[in-house]
Amino acid sequence: MRLLILGPPGAGKGTQASRIADVLGIPAISTGEIFRRNIKEKTPLGIRVKGIIEAGQYVPDEVTNEIVFDRLSEPDAKNGYLLDGYPRTVDQAWALREFHWTRDTDLDHVLELEVPDQKVVERLLKRSEIEGRSDDNEQVIRERLKIYHEQTTPISSMARDRGLLRSVDGEGTVDQVFDRCMAALQQSANVPPRPLRVV
Protein backbone atom coordinates (compact mmCIF):
# COMPACT_ATOMS: atom_id res chain seq x y z
CA MET A 1 0.00 0.00 0.00
CA ARG A 2 1.29 3.43 -0.95
CA LEU A 3 0.07 6.15 1.38
CA LEU A 4 0.52 9.85 2.07
CA ILE A 5 -0.35 11.46 5.40
CA LEU A 6 -1.23 15.15 5.56
CA GLY A 7 -2.01 17.40 8.49
CA PRO A 8 -0.99 20.73 10.00
CA PRO A 9 2.12 21.08 12.16
CA GLY A 10 1.39 19.56 15.56
CA ALA A 11 -1.31 17.21 14.23
CA GLY A 12 0.74 14.14 15.16
CA LYS A 13 1.55 12.98 11.63
CA GLY A 14 4.92 11.50 12.54
CA THR A 15 3.54 9.47 15.44
CA GLN A 16 0.64 8.11 13.41
CA ALA A 17 2.79 7.47 10.33
CA SER A 18 5.16 5.31 12.35
CA ARG A 19 2.37 3.26 13.92
CA ILE A 20 0.42 2.80 10.67
CA ALA A 21 3.55 1.80 8.77
CA ASP A 22 4.47 -0.77 11.44
CA VAL A 23 1.04 -2.40 11.19
CA LEU A 24 1.12 -2.47 7.38
CA GLY A 25 4.72 -3.62 7.18
CA ILE A 26 5.86 -0.69 5.03
CA PRO A 27 8.47 2.00 5.69
CA ALA A 28 7.38 5.38 7.02
CA ILE A 29 9.33 7.89 4.94
CA SER A 30 9.87 11.37 6.35
CA THR A 31 11.63 14.02 4.30
CA GLY A 32 13.22 15.40 7.46
CA GLU A 33 14.69 12.00 8.30
CA ILE A 34 15.88 11.53 4.71
CA PHE A 35 17.68 14.89 4.83
CA ARG A 36 19.29 14.05 8.16
CA ARG A 37 20.38 10.59 7.01
CA ASN A 38 21.92 11.87 3.77
CA ILE A 39 23.73 14.66 5.62
CA LYS A 40 25.03 12.22 8.26
CA GLU A 41 26.22 9.73 5.62
CA LYS A 42 27.74 12.57 3.57
CA THR A 43 26.13 11.39 0.36
CA PRO A 44 26.37 13.72 -2.67
CA LEU A 45 22.74 14.74 -2.10
CA GLY A 46 23.38 15.20 1.61
CA ILE A 47 26.32 17.49 0.95
CA ARG A 48 24.15 19.61 -1.37
CA VAL A 49 21.33 19.81 1.18
CA LYS A 50 23.68 20.69 4.04
CA GLY A 51 25.11 23.58 2.05
CA ILE A 52 21.64 24.88 1.22
CA ILE A 53 20.41 24.64 4.82
CA GLU A 54 23.56 26.23 6.26
CA ALA A 55 23.06 29.14 3.85
CA GLY A 56 19.62 29.64 5.41
CA GLN A 57 17.78 28.76 2.24
CA TYR A 58 14.87 26.42 1.46
CA VAL A 59 15.74 23.14 -0.19
CA PRO A 60 14.53 23.50 -3.83
CA ASP A 61 11.80 21.18 -5.06
CA GLU A 62 14.10 19.47 -7.55
CA VAL A 63 16.55 18.51 -4.80
CA THR A 64 13.78 17.35 -2.47
CA ASN A 65 12.20 15.34 -5.28
CA GLU A 66 15.53 13.70 -6.11
CA ILE A 67 16.13 12.67 -2.51
CA VAL A 68 12.60 11.34 -2.00
CA PHE A 69 12.52 9.40 -5.28
CA ASP A 70 15.92 7.90 -4.50
CA ARG A 71 14.49 6.68 -1.18
CA LEU A 72 11.31 5.34 -2.81
CA SER A 73 13.47 3.30 -5.18
CA GLU A 74 15.11 1.36 -2.33
CA PRO A 75 14.17 -2.34 -1.95
CA ASP A 76 12.17 -1.96 1.29
CA ALA A 77 9.77 0.46 -0.45
CA LYS A 78 9.06 -1.91 -3.35
CA ASN A 79 5.74 -3.09 -1.90
CA GLY A 80 4.61 0.21 -0.43
CA TYR A 81 5.43 3.14 1.79
CA LEU A 82 3.89 5.92 3.85
CA LEU A 83 5.04 9.43 2.98
CA ASP A 84 5.15 12.02 5.76
CA GLY A 85 6.10 15.62 4.95
CA TYR A 86 6.16 15.16 1.19
CA PRO A 87 4.74 16.46 -1.06
CA ARG A 88 4.39 19.92 0.52
CA THR A 89 3.60 21.86 -2.64
CA VAL A 90 1.51 21.31 -5.76
CA ASP A 91 4.67 21.15 -7.87
CA GLN A 92 5.99 18.37 -5.64
CA ALA A 93 2.63 16.58 -5.87
CA TRP A 94 2.82 16.60 -9.67
CA ALA A 95 6.41 15.39 -9.55
CA LEU A 96 5.29 12.49 -7.36
CA ARG A 97 2.54 11.60 -9.83
CA GLU A 98 5.05 11.61 -12.66
CA PHE A 99 7.34 9.36 -10.60
CA HIS A 100 4.45 6.93 -10.16
CA TRP A 101 3.49 7.11 -13.85
CA THR A 102 6.97 5.98 -14.88
CA ARG A 103 6.51 2.92 -12.65
CA ASP A 104 2.86 2.25 -13.45
CA THR A 105 1.93 2.77 -9.79
CA ASP A 106 -0.02 5.33 -7.78
CA LEU A 107 -0.91 6.33 -4.25
CA ASP A 108 -3.64 4.14 -2.80
CA HIS A 109 -4.90 6.61 -0.21
CA VAL A 110 -4.18 10.04 1.27
CA LEU A 111 -4.91 10.36 4.98
CA GLU A 112 -5.52 13.87 6.26
CA LEU A 113 -5.51 14.53 10.01
CA GLU A 114 -7.94 17.34 10.69
CA VAL A 115 -7.18 19.50 13.74
CA PRO A 116 -8.58 23.03 14.25
CA ASP A 117 -5.99 25.80 14.06
CA GLN A 118 -6.59 26.92 17.64
CA LYS A 119 -6.01 23.38 18.89
CA VAL A 120 -2.78 23.21 16.89
CA VAL A 121 -1.62 26.50 18.41
CA GLU A 122 -2.37 25.23 21.92
CA ARG A 123 -0.56 21.92 21.30
CA LEU A 124 2.56 23.56 19.86
CA LEU A 125 2.73 26.23 22.56
CA LYS A 126 2.53 23.50 25.19
CA ARG A 127 5.23 21.47 23.40
CA SER A 128 7.37 24.59 23.10
CA GLU A 129 7.05 25.22 26.84
CA ILE A 130 7.94 21.61 27.71
CA GLU A 131 10.90 21.48 25.31
CA GLY A 132 12.05 25.04 26.01
CA ARG A 133 11.73 26.11 22.37
CA SER A 134 11.39 29.87 22.64
CA ASP A 135 11.30 30.25 18.84
CA ASP A 136 7.92 28.47 18.74
CA ASN A 137 5.78 31.42 19.81
CA GLU A 138 2.18 31.97 18.73
CA GLN A 139 3.08 34.34 15.89
CA VAL A 140 5.54 31.85 14.39
CA ILE A 141 3.09 28.96 14.78
CA ARG A 142 0.27 30.87 13.09
CA GLU A 143 2.60 31.80 10.22
CA ARG A 144 3.50 28.12 9.79
CA LEU A 145 -0.21 27.28 9.75
CA LYS A 146 -0.84 29.96 7.13
CA ILE A 147 1.87 28.51 4.89
CA TYR A 148 0.53 25.01 5.48
CA HIS A 149 -2.98 25.97 4.42
CA GLU A 150 -1.73 27.85 1.37
CA GLN A 151 0.48 25.01 0.17
CA THR A 152 -1.39 21.90 1.30
CA THR A 153 -5.06 22.70 0.72
CA PRO A 154 -4.54 22.32 -3.06
CA ILE A 155 -2.90 18.90 -2.47
CA SER A 156 -5.91 17.82 -0.40
CA SER A 157 -8.20 19.01 -3.17
CA MET A 158 -6.21 17.06 -5.77
CA ALA A 159 -6.50 13.91 -3.65
CA ARG A 160 -10.22 14.47 -3.07
CA ASP A 161 -10.87 14.96 -6.78
CA ARG A 162 -9.17 11.65 -7.50
CA GLY A 163 -11.07 9.76 -4.81
CA LEU A 164 -7.96 9.21 -2.69
CA LEU A 165 -8.63 11.46 0.32
CA ARG A 166 -9.54 9.93 3.70
CA SER A 167 -10.24 12.65 6.29
CA VAL A 168 -9.61 11.69 9.91
CA ASP A 169 -10.48 13.58 13.09
CA GLY A 170 -7.05 14.32 14.57
CA GLU A 171 -8.28 15.28 18.05
CA GLY A 172 -8.14 12.86 20.97
CA THR A 173 -5.53 10.44 22.27
CA VAL A 174 -2.85 8.90 20.07
CA ASP A 175 -4.70 5.56 20.26
CA GLN A 176 -8.03 7.10 19.31
CA VAL A 177 -6.58 8.85 16.25
CA PHE A 178 -4.70 5.70 15.25
CA ASP A 179 -7.91 3.64 15.44
CA ARG A 180 -9.67 6.20 13.22
CA CYS A 181 -6.82 6.10 10.69
CA MET A 182 -6.91 2.31 10.47
CA ALA A 183 -10.71 2.31 10.24
CA ALA A 184 -10.56 4.81 7.37
CA LEU A 185 -8.07 2.61 5.51
CA GLN A 186 -9.98 -0.61 6.17
CA GLN A 187 -13.31 0.87 5.09
CA SER A 188 -11.86 2.02 1.80
CA ALA A 189 -9.44 -0.84 1.15
CA ASN A 190 -11.66 -2.35 -1.52
CA VAL A 191 -12.57 0.95 -3.14
CA PRO A 192 -10.28 1.48 -6.15
CA PRO A 193 -9.03 5.02 -6.73
CA ARG A 194 -10.10 6.86 -9.84
CA PRO A 195 -8.09 6.02 -12.96
CA LEU A 196 -4.93 8.00 -13.59
CA ARG A 197 -5.19 10.54 -16.31
CA VAL A 198 -3.10 13.47 -17.39
CA VAL A 199 -4.88 16.75 -16.69
144 is catalytic: yes
Which residue among the candidates 37, 50, 142, 144 is catalytic per the annotation? 144
Which residue among the candidates 50, 88, 119, 160 is catalytic per the annotation? 88
78 is catalytic: no
Which residue among the candidates 13, 71, 97, 123 is catalytic per the annotation? 13
Which residue among the candidates 40, 133, 146, 194 is catalytic per the annotation? 133
Which residue among the candidates 126, 127, 146, 194 is catalytic per the annotation? 127
Query: If you write DSSP's letter for every residue of the chain in order, what string do you get?
Result: -EEEEE--TTS-HHHHHHHHHHHHT--EEEHHHHHHHHHHHT-HHHHHHHHHHHTT-PPPHHHHHHHHHHHHTSGGGTT-EEEES---SHHHHHHHHHHHHHTT---SEEEEEE--HHHHHHHHHHHHHHHT-TT--HHHHHHHHHHHHHHHHHHHHHHHHTT-EEEEE--S-HHHHHHHHHHHHHHHTTSPPPPP---
133 is catalytic: yes
13 is catalytic: yes
97 is catalytic: no
Catalytic residue positions, numbered: 13, 88, 127, 133, 144
